[in-house]
């Protein structure tokens, strides 16, 4: 996985700042989630088990560029000194006069901010207890992830993934492929569809399936609807005509 492609994280992507992370493994999984989302700027404030960390590198599973670029800080305010818009990710509500937002809204804010040349970041606390109130106070707003209120515990990498995912999608030129069809074959023409229908109905007449004259128009329409709805390719029309011919040709054997 190593290669230049890894560095496709953009300069305007938000920084991720982990305050007092405990397990190297979790730092590695954060790095991996970041690279999934095109984020590259990872900053650590007093990681409990020191840095560099073998377990972090192992858990990063190929997100080497993020691990190699990690910067270490002694204090949270130093780690966020160059940032201009800072969100604090918190699981539990804080009794502070501070705006609370969601990953989706924060992503839109960060994109708009970056478009004007601003630097944004997200702050996350230790696995066990989250951010201190002093660290939260550094942030412009809180991010809470709006999931099942009865089971909110998300590990660090999961929280980073959801914030990063929203950030990534917020920058997509278009919101993603619309139920796209593979292009390996062209859609059947109406003429080809008509040929399929005539073939099927001719054989169904021959075997007696359509002998009820009263029901015939409804049955024929229903069958045509099924194949119409499937959005067939020209190749699929040929396959289905082979199926009809095959099933019918057994006759008289």
Nearer to a copy of itself, 81 or 180 (CB): 180
CB 35 → a copy of itself: shortest distance, Å? 4
Instruction: Let me know: does 37 contact 8? Beta carbons within 8 Å.
Output: no
Nearer to a copy of itself, 63 or 122 (CB): 63
Coil, helix or strand at residue 45: strand
Query: Scanning the structure block, which residue is given the tokens 């000194």?
Result: 81
Nearer to a copy of itself, 77 or 152 (CB): 152
Question: Is the torsion defined by CA of 141, 147, 150, 155 positive or negative?
Answer: negative
Tell me if the bond preceding 134 is cis, omega within 30° of 0.
no
CB 17 → a copy of itself: shortest distance, Å? 20
> In the structure encoding, which two tokens stand for residue 220, read together?
């024929």
CB 169 → a copy of itself: shortest distance, Å? 7
Instruction: Let me know: does 237 contact 192? Beta carbons within 8 Å.
Output: yes
CB 217 → a copy of itself: shortest distance, Å? 14
Q: To 5 degrees, how large is the angle CA 18–CA 21–CA 22?
A: 175
Identify which of 91, 123, 156 has the alpha carbon closest to the alpha carbon of residue 14. Answer: 123
Nearer to a copy of itself, 135 or 166 (CB): 166
DSSP per-residue codes, 107-157:
HHHHHHHHHTT--EEEEE--TTT---HHHHHTSSEEE-----TT-----HH
Nearer to a copy of itself, 50 or 252 (CB): 252
Element (H, E) at 17: strand 15-19
Nearer to a copy of itself, 117 or 252 (CB): 252
CB 70 → a copy of itself: shortest distance, Å? 17
- Half-sphere exposure of residue 224: CA atoms within 13 angstroms, side-chain side: 15
CB 201 → a copy of itself: shortest distance, Å? 10
Nearer to a copy of itself, 32 or 45 (CB): 32
CB 74 → a copy of itself: shortest distance, Å? 30
């Amino acid at each position: 996985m190593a290669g230049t492609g890894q560095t496709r994280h953009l300069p305007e992507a938000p920084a991720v700042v982990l305050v007092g992370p405990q397990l190297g493994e979790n730092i590695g999984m954060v790095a991996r989630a970041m690279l999934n989302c095109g984020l590259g700027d990872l900053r650590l404030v007093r990681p409990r088990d020191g840095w560099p960390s073998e377990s972090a590198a192992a858990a990063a599973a190929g997100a080497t560029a993020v691990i190699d670029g990690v910067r270490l800080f002694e204090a949270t305010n130093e780690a966020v000194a160059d940032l201009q818009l800072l969100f604090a990710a918190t699981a539990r509500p804080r009794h502070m006069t501070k705006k609370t937002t969601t990953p989706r809204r924060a992503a839109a804010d960060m994109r708009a901010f970056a478009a004007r040349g601003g630097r944004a970041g997200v702050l996350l606390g230790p696995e066990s207890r989250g951010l201190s109130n002093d660290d939260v106070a550094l942030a412009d707003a809180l991010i809470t992830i709006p999931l099942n209120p009865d089971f909110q515990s998300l590990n660090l990498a999961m929280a980073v993934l959801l914030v990063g995912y929203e950030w990534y999608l917020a920058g997509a030129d278009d919101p993603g492929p619309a139920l796209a069809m593979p292009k390996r074959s062209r859609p059947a023409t109406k003429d080809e569809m008509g040929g399929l229908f005539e073939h099927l109905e001719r054989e169904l007449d021959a075997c007696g399936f359509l002998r009820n004259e009263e029901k015939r128009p409804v049955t024929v329409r229903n069958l045509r609807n099924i194949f119409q709805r499937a959005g067939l390719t020209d190749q699929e029309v040929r396959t289905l005509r082979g199926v009809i011919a095959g099933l019918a040709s057994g006759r008289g054997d």
